[in-house]
Amino acid sequence: MPRTPSRANAWSCSKKPCEGRAHRRPLSSSSQLKEAQKAATALRVKLVPVEIRGTDYDRAFSTIVAERADAIFVLMGPTLVRDRHQIVERAVKHRLPDFSGNSELVQVGGLMSYGGSTLDSSRRAAVYVDKILKGAKPSEMPVEQPTKFELVINLKTAKALGLTLPSSLVKRADTVIQ
């Protein structure tokens, strides 16, 4: 069974607005990092944030390796989802288990994710679009939080990293990638 990491790194994209986005802060900004830090403190894990500027993943991984991280936690955001292949390749190369709230990283070789169901969220978005097309005012519609969460595990990656995951964890997974 893998031990609890004593050090973990969190990814965060630059505080500059992401390309083509109208919002002022990227999705993987301070609120996600604060929550990750709270969880790390409760688990007595040292969390070392690593900010990504552009697509300089080699520099980021050099920092992570120098910090002697046991694992990485990838915060969600559009840039990190776009570059998921690069992130996962480097994590496996450096033998670092990676965790995320986004199953797309696991589908391309990441180790594990737990987060809101992308499919369910897409279906909910379609309902919103339908309501708007029928005349509903977006400003009067409530903001919804995910209601369905999924645990996704990639056993192929676990094997490549030399990890044996508890069978009780694997049995709880909604999706297991062999």
DSSP string, 114-147: EEE-HHHHHHHHHHHHHHHHTT--GGGSPP----
Q: Domain locations in the chain?
A: 7-115+149-177
> Rounded to an integer, what distance in angstroms lies between the CA atom of residue 102 and that of residue 152?
9
Token pair belonging to 19: 């390309």
54: three-class secondary structure by DSSP: coil
Q: Encode the chain (178 residues) as per-residue pLDDT tens digits.
A: 445 555 555 554 444 433 333 333 333 457 778 888 888 888 888 888 887 777 788 888 888 888 888 888 888 777 777 888 998 999 999 999 999 888 989 999 999 999 888 888 888 889 989 999 999 999 999 988 888 999 999 999 999 999 999 999 999 999 999 9
Single out the residue of 97, 101, 95, 90 nearest to residue 27, CA to CA.
101
- Give the H/E segment covering residue 168: helix 167-172
Q: Specify the pLDDT at position 59.
A: 86
How high is the pLDDT of residue 20?
33
- Beta-carbon contacts of 160 under 8 Å, excluding residues fewer than 6 positions away, are 92
Return the CATH number of the domain spanning residue range 7-115+149-177. Answer: 3.40.50.2300
Strand, coil or helix: 79: helix
SS3 percent helix, strand, coil of the chain, rounded to 5, is: 40, 20, 40
User: Would you state the pLDDT for residue 161?
Assistant: 93
Place of tokens 């390796």: 65
Q: Contact 26/18 with Cβ under 8 angstroms?
A: yes
